[in-house]
Amino acid sequence: MSTIQETIHQMGRQARNAAYRLAQLSSDEKNAILRAMAAAIRENSPVLLQENAKDLAAGVKKGLSAAMLDRLRLDESRIEAMAAGIDQVATLPDPVGQVMEAWTRPNGIAIEQVRVPIGTIGIIYESRPNVTADAAVLCFKTGNATILRGGSEAIHSNVAIAAALAQAGAPEHAIQLIPFTDRESVAVLAGMDQWLDLIIPRGGKGLIETVVSLARMPVIKHYDGICHLFADKAADLDMAVSLTVNSKTQKCGVCNALETLLVHREIAASFLPKVAAALRERNVQLRGCEETHHYLTNISPATEEDWSTEYLDLILSIKVVASLDEAVSHINQYGSHHTDVIVTTDHAAADIFLRSVDSACVFHNVSTRFADGGEFGFGAEIGISTDKLHARGPMGLRELTSYQYRVRGNGQTRG
């Protein structure tokens, strides 16, 4: 067994033992530690910025894109947002111990279905160092021990954040960060089903496919964020422009950013020039279908590949469709089951869209950027799941729990 294998397996054993200790903590005890974690993040802000600067310099040297560097960058406001997210998690109701259902059988046996921690969770992620804090505190709140494996591009930032969290008095080994960034560490973690109950990859499609192919335990994931906005024939055009611009440009390098705009043919002539002008003001490159070119000049043609591409950049593909049904069919064929929006004043059409689009999040007259655990009121999220079992959409605290049946009686035996 290599040094990397030995180290990570030791971390797994430590995580399993820590999970048993975490399960004994009360909500008040967990919340006090979480508030101490938030304070430690704020107090260590100068160190976090210093270490993040090392990662940014290395990223520039490696030739990372502007979008990737933005995902990697920490500043004072992002550090404060990280700490505020931890404080918010401390105020949220603790799902652990919640009685989901309770009933009594005719023989007097009392049965409860109760939320409990999953146990030990491995999280593999890229780029964004705030995931170190988000993942750690959500797992901690729900009594789960965590093993984190960040990407090489953020290693200095991740180590600094994990060190700050460790100052807060959590049980030893409740939160562990793998110090290795080579590919072997991913394979070791994904194969360690004797110690891990669940693994969650966050990052590019290549990373997620690798984890899924190697994992010997359940995986919660999403591959892409190919999000759509459909401007229906009954859309308020000003609202449709505003939502398109916000969904695409408020932050383009994230999984809930808009990638494809679908426009009903009946409003294409009036809507497309208006939305194109607003997008061009924000330096968005437009790619359109053949019919889109009837209304917009000097845009690139959209190819078949564009409809299934997650740009994570200031690029937007546009397609004119003849009907609501065509829009829904396009989304279900090319989308990633993440987040899709209809803009319309026709509530019957909106209801059809919400029922028919097979995505984790379906919105009516709302920016795609609201597909986020914080915006849903969950606090810092662990990620977005496009799976259907056991969690779907933004994953907050409840999605990090399982359940057990607690049965109480007074000596009943089965005949």
| Average model confidence (pLDDT) across the chain | 94
- Angle between helix 130-141 and 155-165 (nearest 10): 30
Specify the pLDDT at position 10.
Answer: 97
Specify the pLDDT at position 224.
Answer: 85
- CA angle, 217 then 133 then 223, to 5°: 45
Pairing of strands 145-149, 120-125: parallel
Asked if residue 134 lies in contact with residue 104, where contact means CB atoms within 8 angstroms, the answer is: no
* Residues paired with 368 in a beta bridge: none
Q: What is the 3-state secondary structure (H, E, C) of 318-364?
A: EEEECCHHHHHHHHHHHCCCCEEEEECCCHHHHHHHHHHCCCCEEEE
- Write out the two tokens for 155: 């290693």
* Residues paired with 147 in a beta bridge: 122, 176
Q: Which residue has the tokens 């030995």?
A: 6
Domains of the chain: 3-221+387-408 (3.40.605.10), 227-370 (3.40.309.10)
Mean pLDDT across the stretch 55-70?
Answer: 92
CB atoms within 10 A of CB 319: 23
Question: Tens digit of pLDDT for each residue in 170-223?
Answer: 999 999 999 888 889 999 999 999 999 999 998 778 889 999 999 999 999 887
Mean pLDDT across the stretch 332-342?
Answer: 97
DSSP codes joined into one string, 53-104: HHHHHHHHHHT--HHHHHHH---HHHHHHHHHHHHHHHHSPP-TT-EEEEEE
Question: Smallest Cα–Cα separation from 265: which of 320, 338, 218?
Answer: 320
Pairing of strands 315-321, 285-288: parallel
Provide CB contacts within 8 A for 66, sequence distance 6+. none
Mean pLDDT across the stretch 328-339?
Answer: 97
Three-class secondary structure of residue 315 per DSSP: strand
Three-class secondary structure of residue 299 per DSSP: coil
Provide CB contacts within 8 A for 304, sequence distance 6+. none
Distance CA 310, CA 337 (A): 13
Q: Which residue has the tokens 């000596």?
A: 411
C-alpha radius of gyration, the chain, whole number: 23
Distance CA 46, CA 142 (A): 30
- CA–CA distances in Å: residue 85 to residues 126, 332, 380, 394: 20, 33, 5, 15
N- to C-terminal Cα separation, the chain? 52
Is residue 68 over pLDDT 90? no
Distance CA 370, CA 247 (A): 9
Specify the pLDDT at position 380.
Answer: 62
Distance CA 17, CA 83 (A): 27
Ranges 35-39, 223-227, 282-286: which has the least confidence: 223-227
Question: Tens digit of pLDDT for each residue in 259-277?
Answer: 999 999 999 999 999 999 9
Question: Tens digit of pLDDT for each residue in 368-411?
Answer: 999 998 898 876 678 888 888 888 988 889 999 999 999 999 99
Question: Smallest Cα–Cα separation from 249: which of 367, 104, 125, 94?
Answer: 367
